[in-house]
Amino acid sequence: MRRPLAALLLILAVVGPAAPAAAARPQTAPPATVWPGMLEVELADGTRRAPVVAALDAVAGVEKVLPAFPTSSDPALARWLTVEVADGTEATVAAALDRLPQVASAARVPVRVPAYDPNDPRRAEQWHLDRIGARGGWSVERGNRGARVGVIDTQFDAGHPELAGVLFRRDGKPGVERFAPGCPRDARYSEHGTFVAGIAAAGTDNRAGVSSVGFSIGVVAVQAGVPEAGACLISPRWSRALVELADAGVRVVNLSFSGTRASATEAAAVRYAVSRGTLVVAAAGNDGSTAPAYPAALPFVVGVAATDQRDRLWSGSNRGSWVDVAAPGVGLLTVCPGGYCNVTGTSAAAPVVSAIATLVAADQPHLEGLQLRGRVLSAAAPITGVTFDPAVGRGRVRLDRAVTQRSVRLHGPDRVGTAQAVGHEAHPGGRGPAVDRVVLVPADAPGDRGWVVTLPAAGLLHGGATAMVLTGRDRLHPAAAEELDRFLPDGGQVILPGSAAIGISTAVEDQLRSRGHDVVRVAGADDAATAAALADAIIGRSNATAALVARGDTFADALPLAAAAAARGLPLVYVGQDSVPDATCDWIRSQRTVRTLHLAGGTKAIAPAVEDALRTCAAGLLVGRDLTITRDAGASRVETSVAIARRHFGSSPTAVSLANGFKWPDAVTGGALAATRGAPVLLTTGTGAVEPGVRAYLAGTGTTAYVLGGPAVVSDATRQSLEAATR
């Protein structure tokens, strides 16, 4: 008997009465998120309003200064002003106002619009749309039929009124792609593809039936159902379908099926799709088990658990460390062949996530699959109070947050997982530069000083062809192994900074070679010598004429400096507080092309005598040449990071990274975002509002902000303050 390698679709549907469709209402473009020509200004503590108005009026670009609450005598409200400026000058004027000592903050004024609700008569019965904040999300992004989610499933009722104009083939023509013959209508699960497509993209705002999460998005519908023992199962050809959808440029693909056995062919198809920039979303399965279910448990797939109306894990949902996120999946009203039905299971939860990701892709078309993954996970609500919960992963998804967030939190269950999240953002595959080698650095080291061999290697990341991966010193972490397989599937070069005493151990080195990698260790006798050896390797690639200098006994200034090294391809060497190590001096003496040294930190961090010593080191080969030495420093490590950013990234970066200035591990691979996204690393204490210097640097830029680490490292309050600063 024929036994296809198929996965049962474990979900029950109850069919309800059908309703006719109606013509869709024309959609209008969502409004801007900030008001043009307007700023909100908070005066500093102790500042009287009347005298400062004249000072604000004198700032170039300011047209009018008004009290925000003119009739109130409350001192707290009296501190707020509304400043009108010429259109297009908002960011410049905000930055100028922020520099005034009388001003605590100056920011763009956000636009508030009524939350959008469609006119579908049964919308009120769809509790899941309220739970994910759909109304707020639709106020910003409602998609269009050109923004399409791929759905590989049993089969689809293309004649259903709510799917009219929704289903497409890969070539963009209306219809259904057929990778399998399909099933009789009375076969179990034959209705499955219809309701999955309905949850994601049923006709919305058409005065008929139900609404969908994706509102106006389309579906690339792939029929993969085959009849077997009275059921409609998924043909093994689904993996081929995934590859072809990825080749066609479909950016999100939904897989609402599962099984307990892994398949190497399926894993290969997923890896390929990810490499093409496609996000793969899969149902966790409905066995109530912690055993991995596939394809949800495959690397890079977003595994989705199901929650109920009270934000509790549905009892039948699988759960485990391989689950990434949860979505409503109990009693969801959607379309079924010939009508409507209520469905329950992770098969219903997965298209909720897929539709959200597709709306994010419509809102930000430059994002690749793994970047979309980061946006969806970053927006999830931690419904159990735990950042990572084996039951619900990051928590329950939020559509409103996913399409409005201005910051993206990159973190994992441990420091290695956080580095992997950074790698997904920096090197998502698809249209980005291909990675041809990896720098593997330690997550743990004697004295927790892994940064001393990691940060000087940042310059190797310049250009984007080299990735940085974090792992344990004495074992190859599973997340690190996934990244190596993603970047270098056929072996390739792995660079190990530092000796086995503080860098990656020889045991891991042997493991890497057994996996087919060419392993190159770059090390010196001590920290300074290792930095010098890495500097030689960087100079050999970039022909840099400048070098960066930081203290080798504290990471606070070296961390943001490493981002500059990655962005500009510059070497980073170490000095002491009041002396220059022999290895650093020898390196400077040997460099004929280096004319400029950029020091990080004030004279308390690096004494003036160090500058003299550096010039002496250079004198042997720089006779008759000027050696320029600059300092980037502030009153604190936070202010120093801003000074470094201004010098090496300018005043308007396209992206920034925010890191805890007192805990290095979550930010140590942030140089990858500097190399590929132009993002400087700014420091913070991570416990409250972002510091004034950071706020002034970001004021009104609208830049993408990456938060490196979980809420325990950079708090949610700090993240919210960061978002406000960029508006």
- The 10s digit of each residue's pLDDT in 26-69 is 333 444 567 888 999 988 887 877 778 888 888 888 889 888 88
CB 481, CB 470: distance < 8 Å: no
Question: How many CB atoms within 10 Å of residue 218?
Answer: 23
Residues 489-514 have a mean pLDDT of 95
* Rounded Cα gap, residues 271 and 65, in angstroms: 56
Residue 396, SS3 per DSSP = strand
* Rounded Cα gap, residues 252 and 278, in angstroms: 6
One DSSP character per residue, 494-512 reads EEEES-TTTSS-HHHHHHH
* Total number of residues shown for the chain: 727
Strands (E) across 607-695 are located at: 628-632, 655-660, 681-684
CA distances from 58 to 46, 83, 87, 97, 253 (A): 21, 12, 18, 10, 55
H helix count then E strand count, the chain: 23, 29
| Nearest C-alpha neighbor of 78 from the set 65, 69, 66 | 69
| Nearest C-alpha neighbor of 714 from the set 684, 693, 691 | 684
Residues 214-236 have a mean pLDDT of 95
Q: For the chain, what is the mean pLDDT?
A: 90
List pLDDT tens digits, range 590-605: 888 899 999 999 999 9
One DSSP character per residue, 340-381 reads EEEEESHHHHHHHHHHHHHHHHHH-TT--HHHHHHHHHHT-B
Kindly state the percentage of the chain with pLDDT values over 90. 74
Domain ranges of the chain: 34-110, 119-404, 407-726
List CB contacts of 468: < 8 A, sequence separation 6 or more: 419, 423, 438, 439, 441, 454, 457, 458, 461, 669, 671, 672
Amino acid 104: pLDDT: 86
> Per-residue pLDDT for 258 more than 60?
yes
Residues β-bridged to residue 344: 12
> Per-residue pLDDT for 624 more than 80?
no
Amino acid 48: pLDDT: 78
Enter the tokens of residue 123: 């919308």
CATH of region 119-404? 3.40.50.200
List CB contacts of 554: < 8 A, sequence separation 6 or more: none
Task: Place 551 in a pLDDT band, splitting at 50, 70 and 90.
Answer: very high
Distance between the two ends of the chain, CA-based, in angstroms? 63
CA distances from 437 to 483, 484, 485, 518, 541 (A): 11, 9, 12, 9, 14
Task: Place 86 in a pLDDT band, splitting at 50, 70 and 90.
Answer: confident
Amino acid 666: pLDDT: 93
> Per-residue pLDDT for 13 more than 60?
no
**How many CA atoms does the CB half-sphere of 196 hold within 13 Å?**
38
Residues 351-375 have a mean pLDDT of 97
List pLDDT tens digits, range 692-724: 999 999 987 778 999 999 999 999 999 988 988
Amino acid 88: pLDDT: 84
The kind and range of the H/E element at 37 are: strand 34-43
| Nearest C-alpha neighbor of 414 from the set 662, 673, 709 | 709
> Per-residue pLDDT for 626 more than 80?
no
Residue 51, SS3 per DSSP = helix
CA distances from 180 to 3, 187, 237, 264 (A): 15, 15, 8, 21
Parallel, antiparallel, or unpaired for β 80-85 and 62-67?
antiparallel
> Per-residue pLDDT for 11 more than 80?
no
* Rounded Cα gap, residues 328 and 303, in angstroms: 14
CB 2, CB 70: distance < 8 Å: no
CB 170, CB 245: distance < 8 Å: yes
Kindly state the percentage of the chain with pLDDT values over 70. 94
Enter the tokens of residue 136: 């707020």
Task: Place 621 in a pLDDT band, splitting at 50, 70 and 90.
Answer: low
- Position 691: which residue type? E
* Rounded Cα gap, residues 633 and 266, in angstroms: 52
* Rounded Cα gap, residues 530 and 508, in angstroms: 19
- Position 677: which residue type? R
Rg over alpha carbons for the chain, rounded to the nearest Å, is: 28
Residues 255-284 have a mean pLDDT of 95
Query: pTM for this one?
Result: 0.86
CB 43, CB 52: distance < 8 Å: yes
CB 476, CB 511: distance < 8 Å: yes
- Cis peptide before 295, with omega less than 30 degrees from 0? yes
DSSP state of 695: H
The residues carrying an active-site annotation are 153, 192, 347
CA distances from 560 to 19, 161, 578 (A): 60, 56, 21
* Rounded Cα gap, residues 295 and 312, in angstroms: 24
The CATH class of the 34-110 domain is alpha beta
Residues β-bridged to residue 521: 496
Phi, psi of 628 (to 5 degrees): -90, 130
